[in-house]
Chains A and B, each alone.
Chain A
Amino acid sequence: MKGRPENLSPEVEARPVILEIEGLTHYFDSLRAVHDFSVTIKEGELVGLIGPNGAGKTTVFNLITGVYRPTAGSIRYEGAQLVGLPSHEIIQMGIARTFQNIRLFANLTVLDNVLIAYHPHAGYGLADSIFRSRRYREREKAMIERSQEFLEIFGLADRQNDIAGSLPYGLQRRLEIARALATQPRLLLLDEPAAGMNPQEIDQLMELIHFIRDRFQLTIFLVEHRMRLVMNICEWITVMDFGEIIARGKPEEVRGNPQVIEAYLGRQAIR
């Protein structure tokens, strides 16, 4: 199959496709940020996308989530074409993401951040809010309880009424993942979740990623520009450089690929 390594186990290959990207190309004016990108991800996989800074990884995520409209190409999620849909509809279809530079609602409380992501599932309308109907009270209570459960899972329960922007960096990252999960996704896109973390925090993060994947039965597509996290947890990896795919395979294969070493480690050595 296109967009995947050849040598994955038949058990995985038998699963349904969740995300299928073909021929994805995007230009910022004359700058070619992504060129002929393709990837096919099956349900329950944990797939990595790596490449040096500026390779076009974040742009791929932005294209999937409708932040930009691709110059060319197709993005299918569970069979539905995403190109041209507004972002909020894509999210409501079951895709959630985090940001490379954390984007919390910094002046609102930790709990509010999660509650906002629940809004499409609030289950009550404007009239209920204005007249404080019984449905408002019940649904609001249920929403708060579910959000609090999330905060507990992420170890944020005792910070629920703190202002999100005041949390230490590591907790902000966690909160961002909690908020993404509150949208009730089946596919989670993580953009450099380990950015700015020390090795010990990265270990905790790896544990967390495994935990949420099992707990919420997620498919995870993960961007990193550092190798450590990806090599440890991803089942297979796609490598990009200058907007193009230069390699694909299991971590150990990619690690030994001379093209990857050149594009990646070579430049890092220069830097």
Chain B
Amino acid sequence: MRQLLRNTNFTFILGAGLVFILVQALISVGVLNAYWQGIIFWGAAITMVSLGLNLIYGFNGQFSLGQFGFYAIGAYASADITYRWVRNDPSALVVVIFGSVLALVFMLGVSAFLRRFYGVATLAKFLFHFLAAVLGFFLAVRFVNPAIGKSVYTALNALPSGLSQQIVFFLALVGGATLAGIISYLFGIPVLELGSDYFGIATLGFTIIVKVLLDNTDTLLPFPEMKGARGMVGIPKWTTWPWVFFTFMAVVLVMRNLLHSSTGRAILSVREDERAAELVGIDTASQKILAFVIGSVFAGLAGGIRAHDMAFLHPTMFGFLPSFNPLIIIVFGGLGSMTGTIITGFFWIFLLEGLLRLYLPEGFETWRFVVYPLVLLLMMLLRPQGLMGRYEIAFLRRPLPPPRVKESPPAPKPIPEAGEVAV
């Protein structure tokens, strides 16, 4: 037993399992009412967005202000899928899933094709990928949905209703996240080449564009059910604690395993010194796109979780001011620390949206954005590396390999004779 407890994987799983059971028990007994449940779910969602941002900014060094745009895309896309589904319309489900698959296949084809040519202009690259994605979704709308929409609906509904709902919710979450990933990929091709500062500005622009589009979903875009600036209502409230927990754990595990791999080290090397990374053979442009897309997929996933907890979406939820929350969280928690992000993410929502909202007077809302920057400023002055610096709990820490066991006694000179070490 003591041996087991020393195994970090075991202790982590044990701890996570206990948290899962504890929260589930508190919910079942009714100690955690809807309000506090909502706070926990919200905390998980914001933490997932923040982990994604930390991957992009803290680990890869690319300053993004666009993660709330992808959060919004994931939220609205998955909400549209389930909204239509419960109204006997499988079109959004079919279009998002099959359109994404087709778009991904076409985009892969385009990249494989373009790789044969050297020095393709970035804009041309973007255009080809964009057209590939548009073609994918066009085919899904025009041909796939009319052809198989009905049968998908009948097939899924033949399952027990509880099961079909879970499957649709799963597909909605995956669809929203994939859509966020595809859009971030398209956006990243031209913009990541600009360098971190310009990238920050461009991604801020992206968040604003998404917000404007959301304000006009019923006029500019053909989605009357999203109701533009009035807010989308009637989304099924399907987010439950197990969904939150397992989605969150998936995000943490994927990010950890990615960072502990060779690709993870390549991502870090870009942050450390992009030029040096390129000159030891790292394709830095690909590493930047990869981190950006994965971070955005996390944001899209979080959006789906949040949308189906709120059962209601409004463009202001994804506006300019709240879009700074993930940035504040990762700066507080420590750029390059997953542990810090997780602690600060939950704490931030718990404190500001949970506790303070209950106890502070109404007018506080308007003061928040005076207080936040001041707190952030103090933080940067007093502890610029964040609460955690780059600290990680054992489970998340990159392992330090033990020194090599030498077959032969160590050579006295640092330079051994040729042939002694087989390289």
**Closest B residue by C-beta to A145:** B404
Q: Which of A26-34, A124-132, A254-262 contacts B (4 or more CB under 8 A)?
A: A124-132
Segment 17-55 of B: residues with Cβ below 8 Å from A: none
Complex Cα distance A185/B273, Å?
Answer: 21
Contact B262 A211 (CB under 8 A): no
Q: A105-B268, A119-B265, A146-B423 are in contact. Are A130 and B254 (CB under 8 A)?
A: yes
Interface residues in B264-308 by Cβ distance below 8 A to A read 264-266, 268-269, 272-273, 275-285, 290
Contact, CB under 8 Å: A132 / B268 = no
Chain-B contact segment, one of A5-13, A83-91, A193-201, A241-249:
A83-91
Q: Does B401 contact A (CB under 8 A)?
A: yes
B414 at the interface (CB under 8 A from A): yes
A178 vs B272: C-alpha distance when bound (angstroms)? 18
Name the segment of A48-56, A148-156, A229-237 touching the other chain: A148-156
Contacts of A132 in B (CB 8 A): 257
B263–A129 touching, CB < 8 Å: yes
Assembled-state Cα–Cα distance A78/B416 (Å):
31
Question: Contact at A116–B277, with CB atoms within 8 Å?
Answer: yes
Contact A160–B272 (Cβ < 8 Å)? no
Q: B118 at interface (Cβ–Cβ under 8 A)?
A: yes
CA of A118 to CA of B263 in the docked complex: distance in angstroms? 11
> Which secondary structure characterizes the binding site on chain A?
helix
* Contacts known (A84-B119, A120-B282, A148-B403); A108 close to B269, Cβ less than 8 A: yes
| CB of A122, distance to nearest CB on chain B (Å) | 4
Q: Are B281 and A117 in contact (CB under 8 A)?
A: yes
Known A-B contacts A84-B118, A117-B281; the reply to A149 vs B269 at CB < 8 A is no
A-side contacts of B260, CB under 8 Å: 129
List which A62-91 residues lie within 8 A (CB) of chain B.
65, 67, 84-88, 91
Asked whether A180 is an interface residue with its Cβ less than 8 Å from the other chain, the reply is yes
**Are B418's CB and A214's CB within 8 A?**
yes
If A65-B279, A116-B266, A116-B282 touch, does A155 touch B272 (CB 8 Å cutoff)?
no
Shortest B203–chain A CB gap in Å is: 23
A91 contacts B254, C-beta separation under 8 Å: no
Q: Measured between C-beta atoms, what is the minimum distance from B346 to chain A in Å?
A: 24
List residues 235-279 of chain B with CB under 8 A from any CB of chain A: 254, 257-258, 260-266, 268-269, 272-273, 275-279
A36 at the A/B interface (Cβ < 8 Å)? no
A112 interface contact, C-beta 8 A: yes
A87 near B279: Cβ-Cβ < 8 Å: yes
Chain B 380-410: CB-based contact to A (< 8 A → 1; otherwise 0): 0000000000000000000011011010001
A104 to B276, CA, bound (A): 7
* Whole-angstrom CA separation of A111 from B262 in the bound complex: 12
Most buried by A among B279, B284, B401, B421: B279
In the assembled complex, 29 residue pairs joining A and B whose CB atoms fall closer than 8 Å, in A order, are A84-B118, A86-B285, A88-B278, A88-B279, A91-B280, A92-B281, A104-B273, A105-B276, A108-B265, A108-B272, A119-B262, A119-B266, A119-B269, A122-B262, A124-B261, A126-B258, A126-B263, A129-B264, A144-B401, A148-B401, A149-B422, A150-B423, A153-B414, A154-B414, A157-B403, A161-B401, A207-B415, A211-B415, A211-B418
Q: A67-B275, A126-B290, A211-B415 are in contact. List 14 more A-B contacts (CB 8 A).
A: A84-B118, A86-B278, A96-B280, A97-B279, A103-B276, A105-B269, A119-B280, A126-B258, A126-B263, A129-B257, A129-B263, A155-B415, A157-B404, A161-B400
Partner-B contacts on A (CB < 8 A) = 65, 67, 84-88, 91-92, 96-97, 99, 103-109, 111-112, 115-120, 122, 124, 126, 128-132, 136, 140, 143-146, 148-150, 152-155, 157-158, 160-161, 179-180, 182-183, 207-208, 211, 214-216
Nearest 10 interchain pairs by C-beta: A155-B414, A129-B261, A91-B281, A105-B272, A122-B262, A148-B404, A103-B276, A117-B280, A87-B278, A161-B400
